[in-house]
Structure 1
Amino acid sequence: MSGKETGHFNGKWGVITVNERLPSKGEQIARARSFGVTESMLGPKDISALIVDDVTGKRTTNWPGVLKERATFLDMMGELHTVGDQVFFATPLCVGFSRSHARETIERLWSCGMLVHVHTVRGNGSALYADGDDITDLLSMVAAEQNAANVRKSRAGKS
């Protein structure tokens, strides 16, 4: 399947965030496809299963306000309440740019009845989080990736 066929929606969404601290857009989309995200119909609506925000070069403490496509998606899911659908993120840092941002994102998805699937580089694995799961380790990975990205950026600036 090329990923362009339309048909019944399989309940898998991919949230892609383009930023210099994250894997490339192409890499994130490839991982989402590997997870099973395809373009399809959700009932009578043709809604893209890929939600893409390009925040390259952005610096803020208000990520929810900058990630406009993600905010629209979350609002729409809140209205549709698609219980059991899964949302894919390519890395823990793709979920949120800080512990609190990641927690807010996950809790918002859970409030819509959704599951959160995060591909992790640790052990080249992934994890599926359901409402009420302990996300302490995931939030620690977010913080570690955020720190590593900041160190890389700092070192690149000194070259």
Structure 2
Amino acid sequence: MVATMTEMPRSSSDRTPRLTLAETEAFLDAEFPQMAHGGPTYVIEDVGYGTARMRLLVRDEHLRPGGTVSGPAMMALADIALYVALLGAIGPVPLAVTTNFSINFLRRPEPRDVVAICRYLKIGRTLAVGEGELRMAGGEEPIAHVVGTYSIPPKR
């Protein structure tokens, strides 16, 4: 097993990501292999301490009638991106789960890749609250705003 960044001693003010991008990808591949079913769909572009940028590679199955990216596809991207941002802060915790999630759809998405940019507002011992924006790839205007709360399991 490869040593991860989580094994290094840390101070409480250390904002170094707990996992690198490569470690995060390897963790998701091992713990959530179903994410890759049907080929690559979600791409992690950046992970930091409580931050993440991810891309949904939009395919026909992500479109709804009328040729727009479906709400469930955008919600899945946002949920995964918030989870990745949390992993960047707490390390590899497979049992951290979504306890609350809300999304406001702001604009009609075009049928092209969607990018999620997420950050955490607060990360406590048992709960973490984050938010994010979804944008069309290459776009500046948000197409959706998300807020999510994750439950962090106690350390064993």
TM-score (norm 1): 0.31
Counting strand residues as a fraction of each chain, which structure ranks higher?
2
Counting helix residues as a fraction of each chain, which structure ranks higher?
1
TM-score (norm 2): 0.32
